[in-house]
């Protein structure tokens, strides 16, 4: 992941859901990413199937994405994230990851 700055818009966040190999998430009824900002406020956003070149775009390859909008990345510091997925017979969260947001220069 490249450098992310406070107040960035249009940042692509992409993940591949794995459990030994990519998990087919095409049948998931809920696909979300949960962010925790540096001040501990939480933000939940819906995920889409990844349409990056080479991805299938239907979730069968486990690829999901979120594109940041205004107000998402509104603080500098360390953010945490976790994916939340639900099917009719199962629901759960991924391990969490982190990324750092830098302050803007001007």
Task: Choose between 25 and 106: higher pLDDT.
Answer: 25
4 in any annotated domain: no
In a domain, 15, yes or no: no
Provide the token pair at 56.
């299938």
Distance linking the first and last C-alpha atoms of the chain: 22
- Tell me the per-residue pLDDT of 2-53, one tens digit each, with 9 for 90 and over: 899 999 999 999 999 999 999 999 999 999 999 999 999 999 999 999 978 7
- Which residues, in sequence order, are bridge partners of residue 88? none
Report the share of the chain in percent with pLDDT over 90: 88
CB atoms within 10 A of CB 81: 18
How many structural domains comprise the chain? 1
Mean of pLDDT over the chain: 94
Tokens 């001007």 belong to residue: 106
Is residue 86 a contact partner of residue 28, using CB atoms and an 8 Å limit?
Answer: yes
Please say whether the beta carbons of 45 and 30 come within 8 A: no
d(CA 66, CA 47): 5
Answer whether residue 13 is part of any domain. no
Q: Please give the pLDDT value at position 36.
A: 98
Residue 2 lies in a domain: no
* Mean pLDDT in residue range 50-61: 86
Whether 71 maps to a domain, the answer reads: yes
| CA-atom Rg of the chain in angstroms | 14
Q: Is the pLDDT confidence value at 85 over 80? A: yes
Report the pLDDT value the prediction gives residue 88, as an integer from 0 to 100: 93
The stretch 70-91 carries a mean pLDDT of 96
Give the integer Cα–Cα distance in Å for 81 and 94.
Answer: 9
**CATH number of the CATH domain containing 31:** 2.60.40
């Amino acid at each position: 992941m490249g450098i992310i700055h406070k107040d960035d818009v249009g940042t692509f966040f992409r993940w591949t859901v794995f459990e030994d190999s990519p998990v087919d998430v095409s049948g998931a009824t809920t696909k979300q990413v949960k962010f925790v900002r540096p001040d501990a406020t939480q933000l939940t956003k819906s995920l889409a199937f990844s349409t990056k070149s080479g991805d299938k775009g239907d979730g069968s390859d486990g690829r999901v994405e979120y594109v940041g909008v205004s107000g998402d990345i509104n603080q500098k510091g360390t953010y945490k994230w976790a994916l939340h997925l639900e099917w009719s017979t199962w629901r759960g969260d991924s391990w969490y990851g982190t990324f750092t947001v830098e302050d803007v220069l001007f």
